[in-house]
Amino acid sequence: MQPVNIGLLGLGTVGGGTATVLTRNAGEIARRAGREIRIARAAARSYDADAIEGLDQIGQIGEDAFAVVDDPQVDIVIELIGGYSPARELVLRAIDNGKHVVTANKALIALHGNEIFAAAQRAGVTVAFEAAVAGGIPIIKALREGLAANHIEWIAGIINGTGNFILTEMRDKGRDFGDVLAEAQRLGYAEADPSFDVEGTDAAHKLTILGSLAFGIPLQFDKTFTEGISKIEPQDVAYAAELGYRIKHLGITRRADAGIEMRVHPTLVPQRRLLANVDGVMNAVLVKGDAVGPTLYYGAGAGALPTASAVVADVVDVVRALTADPHNRVPHLAFQPGELADTPVLAMDDVETAYYLRMQALDRPGVMASIAGILGEQGISIEAIKQKEPAQGETHVPLIMLSHRVKETCMNTALERISALGAVSGEIVRIRMEALAG
C-alpha cells in the first residue's frame, strides 16, 4: 500500500516536535495506522535544525506554504503556524484541493471553525484538531467519542498552563502577580506580551471549542465571557486558603435552563477537589456526564512533544479513515452537521454562581448591617463572613464574605450600591466560586 504523504506547515516548537515524533516512532505509527506515514514536504521561514530529529527524512523543505497545500502528492496537511492569517487561507485552500487537515490552532478553530468545517463537509475531507485544546490531553476525542452516550452537564477546566503556574506560585510562596509573571517569561512559559494567557483569551478559544463539542452548538467565541488573573492579589489567595479554597483560572461551560454558560475567569474551588490540586503548568479538564458522572483528564497542556502527540494521533485517525465514506466519519463537532442546536449562549449577567467578596469597611457599628441589608434586598444569601483585624492606625478593616449562588446581575447591582456607601473604601474584589460537585 502506498505511503501517506504529509505536508507540514511550520517547524517551530510544535512543528519540530511533530517531525520528531513522526520520524522517531515511524514504525510504531505505521503499525497503528496500517500504512507508512512520511513527511513529503514542509514549509518554514526558519527553524532550529539541531532541535528536530529526522530532519533529513523530510522530502523537501521550503518557505512557500501555499506550494505545499497545492502539491498534488500531499494527502494530509498539518497546519502548525498558528494565528488567524494566513492559517485560515491555507486551511481553506487545502480543503478546496481535497486534502485532509490536522491543526493545533485553537484561535483559528474558535473564530473560523464554522466556516472551515462547512467547507470540509462539502469537500468530503476531515479537519482534525485534538491538539488545539489542552495539548497532549485527548479531551476532544473523549467528548466526541468516549462520552458520546452522555448528556454533558458541565465542563470545568484549567486549560492555560501559564496562568496556572502563576497562581500556584502566588499560593505556595506568597508572591505578587507581577513578580511571578516576570519569572514565567524568563522560563519561557509566558510570551513577551502575555495578555493572551493571563487575560484569558487563550483559554476562551479552547473553551469555545469544548462548549461546542459538549452541547452541539456552533462555535461562538464572541459570546464567551473572559476575565483574566492580573488583578488577583496575594491576600486573596491567602484568604481563600483560610476558607478552604484555592483560586484557579477556569474555563467553565454549563447547560442551564435558559441556555449555555460559556465563561473564563478566576474561580474559588474547594481545596479538596482534584481540580484544585492541579499545579504548575499542568492542565486538567473535569467533565460531568449524566451517565458516567464526573471524569477528569490531566496532563501536559503545552510543549513540543506533548502537543505533537495529539497532532500525530489525529494524523493516524485520518489515515485510518481515508477510505471511509465521508458521511460515516466522526463529526467535526461531535454532533451531525445538521443536528447543531440554536441553544443560546447566556450573557454573564444571566449566569448563576457563588461569590467571594473582599472590601475595606469602616470599623464602626451599623456598617455590617447596611451591607447585609443591601445584599438581602438583592436576594443574596451569605454563607460565611470573616472580618480581619485593622492595621495599626487604620479605621477600615478587610471584610471577607462568601455568598450562596445568585445571578450575576443581582450581585452587580448590590456591589454598585455597596461601593456607594461612605463606610466602604476602595474597589470591592469579587471572585466567582464553583463547588464542582459530582
Distance CA 218, CA 342 (A): 8
Q: How many residues are listed for the chain in this entry?
A: 438
**Torsion over CA of 7, 9, 12 and 17, rounded to 10 degrees?**
-30
Distance CA 248, CA 226 (A): 14
pLDDT at 109: 98
pLDDT at 387: 86
Q: Which residue among the candidates 99, 106, 141, 206 is catalytic per the annotation?
A: 206
The answer to whether 40 and 59 have CB atoms below 8 angstroms apart is yes
Hey, what's the cell of 223? 459570546
Tell me, yes or no, whether 260 and 210 share the same domain.
yes
- Expressed as residue numbers, the domain containing 417 is 351-433
pLDDT at 163: 97
**Torsion over CA of 307, 308, 313 and 314, rounded to 10 degrees?**
80
The answer to whether 95 and 116 have CB atoms below 8 angstroms apart is yes
Q: Is residue 388 part of a domain?
A: yes
Which runs of consecutive H residues, i.e. helices, occur in 153-244?
161-173, 177-187, 195-198, 201-215, 234-242
Q: Is residue 78 part of a domain?
A: yes
C-alpha distances out from residue 399 to 231, 323, 384, Å? 18, 65, 11
By C-alpha distance, which of 106, 104, 434, 135 is closest to 294? 434
The answer to whether 50 and 57 have CB atoms below 8 angstroms apart is no
- Assign residue 190 the CATH number of its domain: 3.30.360.10
Q: Is residue 256 part of a domain?
A: yes
Tell me, yes or no, whether 56 and 98 share the same domain.
yes
Question: Residue 15 — left, alpha, or beta (φ > 0 → left; ψ -120 to 50 → alpha)?
Answer: alpha
Tell me, yes or no, whether 126 and 164 share the same domain.
no
Distance CA 275, CA 169 (A): 16
Tell me, yes or no, whether 266 and 146 share the same domain.
yes
SS3 of residue 56 by DSSP: helix
Tell me, yes or no, whether 176 and 228 share the same domain.
yes
Tell me, yes or no, whether 294 and 214 share the same domain.
yes
Hey, what's the cell of 291? 451517565
pLDDT at 331: 83
- Assign residue 371 the CATH number of its domain: 3.30.70.260
Hey, what's the cell of 79? 497546519
By C-alpha distance, which of 70, 343, 354 is closest to 211? 343
**Torsion over CA of 184, 248, 255 and 408, rounded to 10 degrees?**
-110
Q: Is residue 292 part of a domain?
A: yes
Q: Is 206 a catalytic residue?
A: yes
Cis (ω within 30 of 0) for the bond into 86? yes
Tell me, yes or no, whether 132 and 145 share the same domain.
no
Tally of CB atoms within 10 A around 339: 10
Tell me, yes or no, whether 45 and 128 share the same domain.
yes
The answer to whether 90 and 112 have CB atoms below 8 angstroms apart is no
Strands, E, within 319-364: which ranges? 352-362
Residue owning grid cell 470540509: 120
Tell me, yes or no, whether 250 and 319 share the same domain.
no
Tell me, yes or no, whether 376 and 402 share the same domain.
yes
Three-class DSSP labels, 107-120: HHHHHHHHHHHHHH
Tell me, yes or no, whether 94 and 157 share the same domain.
no
Q: Which residues of 174-194 are buried (b: 16+ CB within 10 A; e: fewer)?
A: ebebeebbeebeeeebbeeeb
Mean pLDDT in each 10-residue stretch from start to end of the chain (438 residues)? 95 96 96 95 94 92 98 98 96 98 98 98 96 96 97 98 97 96 93 94 98 98 98 96 97 97 98 96 97 97 94 95 77 85 96 97 91 96 88 83 97 97 95 92
Distance CA 407, CA 77 (A): 46
pTM for this one?
0.94
By C-alpha distance, which of 155, 104, 112 is closest to 130? 104
Q: Is residue 344 part of a domain?
A: no
Number of compact structural domains in the chain? 3
Burial class from Cβ neighbours inside 10 Å (0-12, 13-18, 19+) for residue 322 reads middle
Distance CA 180, CA 256 (A): 36
Tell me, yes or no, whether 199 and 100 share the same domain.
no
Task: Write phi, then psi, for 121 (nearest 5 degrees).
Answer: -60, -45
Distance CA 238, CA 246 (A): 9
Q: Is residue 310 part of a domain?
A: yes
Cα-to-chain-centroid distance, residue 27: 33
Q: Is residue 36 part of a domain?
A: yes
* Cα angle: 281, vertex 77, 71; to 5 degrees: 150
Cα-to-chain-centroid distance, residue 266: 13
The answer to whether 388 and 417 have CB atoms below 8 angstroms apart is no
